[in-house]
Amino acid sequence: MKRRILGISVSIVSAVLLILSCNRKSDPIGPEYFVAPADFSVKSFTLPSDSLNFRVEKCTINAEFSHKVSWTLTFKGNKTGAVMTYTGASDAINSSVLLWNGVHKDLYFFKKEDVTVTLTFFGSEIVKTGKVFIKGTRNYAENPMNVYLAKGDSNGYEKFLAGNTLNNFGSFGAQFTFEQVAATTRRVIDTSIALEGNKVFQINGSDGGGFFIGGMQHRRKRTAPGIEPYFFDKAGWTPDPSKIYYNIFVYGTGQANARMNLEFHEADLSSNSIKPISAAQCASGGAAAIDEHSPCFDDAYIAVIDISHTGWKMFSVRYSDMTKSAVANNGNNGNGVMEPNRVHRIQIGVNTTPNNNSVNAIWDFPIITYGGPFDPTK
Amino acid sequence: MSNMTLKIKIAAALLVAGTLGLNAQTVYFNGLGRALVTTENLKGNILSQVDSSFSPLKTKDTTSNRKSTDGYTLFDLGINAQPSEVLRASAILRIRNEFGGFYGDGSNLLFRQLRLDGIIAKKVKYEIGDIDLELTPYTLYNFNESYHEYEADLFALRRSVVHYENFNFGNKWRMQGANAVANFRFTKIIEKIGLRAFGTRTNSAIFKNQTSPDRLIAGGRFDLVQSQYFQMGATFVGLTDMPQTVASAASVYKNDVLTFDAKGTYGTEKIEVSILGEGGFSQNSYVRAGIDTAKGDDYFYDAGVAVRYKPLNLKVFANYRDVGYDFSSPTAQSRRIHDYGYATQYFGQVFSNTRLRTNILESGELLAGTTLLDRMMDENIRNLNVQTSLMPFMPQYNNVTPYGQATPNRKGFTFGVSGGETDRTIKGEAAVDMLSEIVGEGTPDKETRDFTAIRAGVLFNVNRVIRWEKGLAIKLGYRSENTSRGGVNKIDFSSTLLDAGITAEVVKQLDLMIGYKALMAEGNEVIAMRNSLNQIASYQIFNVKDNQSIVSYGLRYRFSKNTYFTAQGVHAGNTFRKESLNYSINQLFLNYTMIF
């Protein structure tokens, strides 16, 4: 009996081992690296002598090493602290290895500024440094996965004049409307705290007893009857709400009650339909336009973000994660289907919770992206 | 009403309620009281660095602490209410007063533990609340921080304080949840079947932002004991995020581990032969919404044979194991200690308070992290949470199995011998690990590391040999590790850990104690740094030539088995990368501990 039990146990263990002994892949795991040997040296290290204009060019460095080695190249803005880092393993760096087009990682954007370049090597104490100057910053609209909210190639609010009349939105004025309650400041500010460029947008005020303080609508109007003026008409984009992201950078001032609504307003009824295009028209039954979103006939999809933080922070919300407006005659009367190809208005709203509070909201660089949240490295 | 006042009133109410309820139920108390005081100073060139490659200072450090006196008095009162034989509620109420606290300033009151337990239908034992869980070394296991089984009693005393404060009870993880165990005995064919199930929560969405969901750990074990000759079991542990607990989950993590184990034993009156093993699988996925997804499935097996000579309790064993590089078992692979980058209790900051003492870098390389002394006595560097990514570590302390027996990407043999008992003349063990990586890590030529580790220890109760009625014991411990790899990125790293200690009962219940511990490490290593997806994101390079030693001496008076007072002097010297950085810490340690 004892021998039989021992035999059974040996059989079970053997069977388990046999089952488990399948083949695994043999490729190394993790990113490849080369440690600098003791006699490692840098033969040459050269930076561009001219200022860099990333609107028209890309940048590389030229360096040669005695051995193939893992290296890290860091660009750091002296004024902004913006950083871009590249890593690689080679015995030289040139334009075939690396081309920097002014992108950055983390939060801060490069501006027109001096940039310190640092090259380090894995396993070596050798450090090479130098300096370049940026005279033209990255235009993220060149990335086909990005669409600026402002018309044209304006990064953030750079093309608008500072001030609060907002007539200075100039030729872009037709693209924007503003809503606000009393005693609200809304303006473009030229400020050193701007995350990207030099300008930000601000809405600052109290809610006057409601929850809404103010907001900005970016609008697209049809160009001809039946021609839908989609926001997202880029090649490769499909009207798939799980692919479209609403991104914005918000400068929080630590107000616990501060909230922001990010909203997509659709035109479920054709833009050829005559329908009320404001809450007031909905209430009165009037009809004033044929080519826009109607709060009482169409859908509005909303994400509420908490902007009670301090300093800059990026928010990114996927269209499909938004919720349909629950407010009667204010975006909850549509067909209930998320249709990015029917978006006519994109809104930024500043709110408080609870009511009877003030909020100072500052934001920059609103941008719609496809396939994922805004990626500053691309 | 202040928070403190409220807590005191709640505690008083509990005490009164418990006491008044004596006639209706059984209420009993247990607990621990401890008074602990240390005074220490810091010396060495760490305080005089001016513009060295690893110091940010351009001027001499004049502000970092050179001396300190710290300590506390605490009282953990365990209140146990047992209204019937099958129900019990227990709480451990902690009152702690920092050394120097005055009239409640610096005092705090908290619940250290809350637990309900009982028995259902005389079969199922359950516990709810703060529970301690342990299963197998590959599934749920809080592995030891280092090889210290044979360190001096002086050091064991220091370590026991840290273990108690951090709930390091054996190899259990302290968690919050529920646990149930049932055993069923049979008269034919099968002797016993045991079942265990548990569920706990490690992440709470309530206290996080609205994108980090609740994370649950659930699992269980099935045991079948056929007879004294054969037993087998199956264990499951799963970690699961609950995305529905937040408005918009930024990520969803899931990890399942399922293992099977068996043991067959054949024995005579004197000799017992066992064949045993455990094998299993893990499935892991981590989805970051809209960003990326990581998935990994892998397996392991560990099988061996052990022969025991019963009269001497002498055991010889040999095992072979293969643990896949993607085998993921966070509840068995999480480390107890943060090796670097965490502030220590003593002299936490240096270089005019601009750098952590446990995170001194030179050209991006870690020059100094935690020391032997920190790892033994510091209560702040312990990790109490299950980590889903493999934690960074220092190869000086354990490079062969940094994530315990379940360390992924290892295969090879372990063999050894053990024998004796603590209360006999001698007890000792020796074991050798001869392991290697299964696949290379980062290196382009597919070269893999080879590891050799030797550990040995002996406890020699000299008093039994010389027939001295009082206690006299010597402890010796040794652990040596070698790591090597050829090819493009050569690695050659070795470390040796030595332990020696004497405890002599010079007067009845008064022990004179001496302890010595040393670590020598030298060579180069490259340690993988993981991202939140547990993927290798980068590497930390180590070029090490460290010498650390601790000499300690002191007295212990034992009032009873569990009550003692000890006074110890400690000198810990550390040099890093030859002499480029050095410092020493001298400390006087006083500790009165009472357990009832």
**Kind of pairing between the strands at A52-53 and A127-136:** parallel
How far does B490 lie from chain A, in Å, by closest CA?
Answer: 9
Asked if A331 contacts A325 with a C-beta cutoff of 8 angstroms, the reply is yes
Pair of tokens at residue A176:
């924007």
Q: How far apart are the first and last CA of chain A?
A: 70
Measured between beta carbons, the chain A residues lying within 8 angstroms of B325 are 24, 29
Cis peptide, bond prior to residue A366, ω within 30 of zero: no
d(Cα A291, Cα A287) in Å, to the nearest integer? Answer: 11
Say which of A6, A122, A306 has its CB closest to residue B264: A6
Q: Which residue of A has its CA nearest to B442?
A: A32
Measured between beta carbons, the chain B residues lying within 8 angstroms of A33 are 442-443, 489, 526, 539
Helix/strand/coil (H/E/C) assignment for every residue in B251-308? EEEEEEEEEEEEEEEEECCCEEEEEEEEEEEEEEEEEECCCEEEEEEEEEEEEEEEEE
- Helices (H), strands (E): how many in chain B? 5, 26
Answer whether A28 touches B (CB < 8 Å). yes
Measured between beta carbons, the chain A residues lying within 8 angstroms of B227 are 5
| pLDDT-above-90 percentage for chain A | 24
Average pLDDT over residues B445-465: 95
Q: Tell whether A173 and A246 lie within a shared domain.
A: yes
Q: Is residue A235 part of a domain?
A: yes
- Closest to B357 in 3D by CA, of B553, B68, B151: B68
Measured between beta carbons, the chain A residues lying within 8 angstroms of B275 are 6, 9-10, 13
Q: Tell whether A132 and A145 lie within a shared domain.
A: no
pLDDT, tens digit, 9 for 90 and up, residues A42-62: 999 998 888 888 888 888 889
A–B: how many Cβ contacts below 8 A?
122
DSSP-assigned letters across all residues of A280-317? HHHHHT---BSSS--TTTSBEEEEEEE--SEEEEEEEE
Q: Is residue A378 part of a domain?
A: no
Full-model pTM: 0.79
The rounded mean pLDDT for chain A is 82
Where in the sequence is the domain holding A156, given as residue range(s)?
Answer: 140-370
Residue A232 maps to which CATH number? Answer: 2.60.120.430
Q: Tell whether A280 and A347 lie within a shared domain.
A: yes
Q: Is residue A37 part of a domain?
A: no
Q: Tell whether A177 and A96 lie within a shared domain.
A: no
Contacts with B, A 172-231, CB within 8 Å = none
pLDDT, tens digit, 9 for 90 and up, residues B520-558: 999 999 999 998 889 998 898 898 999 999 999 999 999
Locate all alpha helices (DSSP H) within B320-452, ordered by sequence.
330-333, 372-377
Q: Is residue A12 part of a domain?
A: no
CB contact under 8 A, A16 and B264: no
pLDDT, tens digit, 9 for 90 and up, residues B92-107: 999 998 887 666 677 7
Per-residue pLDDT, A12: 60
* pLDDT greater at residue B396 or residue B23: B396
Q: Tell whether A119 and A196 lie within a shared domain.
A: no
Q: How far is CA B100 from each of CA B96, B440, B531, B593, rounded to the nearest angstrom?
A: 12, 54, 42, 19
| Res B290 pLDDT > 70 | no
Q: Tell whether A109 and A207 lie within a shared domain.
A: no
CB contact under 8 A, B210 and A10: no
- Rg of chain A, C-alpha, whole Å: 28
pLDDT interval class at A358 (50, 70, 90): confident
CB contact under 8 A, A318 and B298: no
Mutate to test the interface with B, among A9, A24, A68, A243 (most CBs of B within 10 A): A9
Average pLDDT over residues B305-323: 95
Collapsed DSSP state (helix, strand, coil) of residue B40:
strand
Q: Is residue A149 part of a domain?
A: yes
Q: Tell whether A173 and A115 lie within a shared domain.
A: no
Q: Is residue A375 part of a domain?
A: no
Answer whether A9 touches B (CB < 8 Å). yes
d(Cα B490, Cα B494) in Å, to the nearest integer? Answer: 13
pLDDT interval class at A185 (50, 70, 90): confident
d(Cα B454, Cα A198) in Å, to the nearest integer? Answer: 63
Greatest mean pLDDT range, A307-311, B12-16, B100-104, B552-556:
B552-556
Q: Tell whether A152 and A91 lie within a shared domain.
A: no
Average pLDDT over residues A103-107: 89
Domain boundary among A73, A106, A136: A136
Asked if B79 contacts B95 with a C-beta cutoff of 8 angstroms, the reply is no
Q: Tell whether A312 and A169 lie within a shared domain.
A: yes
Q: Is residue A76 part of a domain?
A: yes
Task: Please give the angle made by the CA atoms of A290, A294 and A299, to the nearest 5 degrees.
Answer: 130
| Res A180 pLDDT > 60 | yes
Domain boundary among A136, A163, A190: A136
Measured between beta carbons, the chain A residues lying within 8 angstroms of B537 are 31
pLDDT interval class at B204 (50, 70, 90): low
Measured between beta carbons, the chain A residues lying within 8 angstroms of B263 are 9
Cis peptide, bond prior to residue A354, ω within 30 of zero: yes
The rounded mean pLDDT for chain B is 90
Measured between beta carbons, the chain A residues lying within 8 angstroms of B243 are none
pLDDT interval class at B114 (50, 70, 90): very high
d(Cα A202, Cα A36) in Å, to the nearest integer? Answer: 51
Domain boundary among A80, A102, A136: A136
* pLDDT greater at residue B457 or residue B50: B457
Pair of tokens at residue A94:
């040139």
d(Cα B145, Cα B375) in Å, to the nearest integer? Answer: 8
Q: Tell whether A297 and A172 lie within a shared domain.
A: yes
Q: Tell whether A170 and A127 lie within a shared domain.
A: no
**Domain tally, chain A:** 2
Q: Tell whether A50 and A175 lie within a shared domain.
A: no
| Res A297 pLDDT > 80 | yes
Residue A103 maps to which CATH number? Answer: 2.60.40.1930
Answer whether B363 touches A (CB < 8 Å). yes
Asked if A339 contacts A245 with a C-beta cutoff of 8 angstroms, the reply is no
Q: Is residue A314 part of a domain?
A: yes
Per-residue pLDDT, B372: 95
Answer whether B279 touches A (CB < 8 Å). yes
| Res B370 pLDDT > 90 | yes
* pLDDT greater at residue A139 or residue A292: A139
pLDDT interval class at A231 (50, 70, 90): confident
CB contact under 8 A, A30 and B528: yes
Sign of the CA dihedral B389, B531, A106, A82? Answer: positive
d(Cα A337, Cα B449) in Å, to the nearest integer? Answer: 57
How far does B584 lie from chain A, in Å, by closest CA?
Answer: 27
d(Cα A211, Cα A204) in Å, to the nearest integer? Answer: 13
Asked if A69 contacts A34 with a C-beta cutoff of 8 angstroms, the reply is yes
* pLDDT greater at residue B380 or residue B244: B380
Mutate to test the interface with B, among A4, A12, A13, A124 (most CBs of B within 10 A): A13
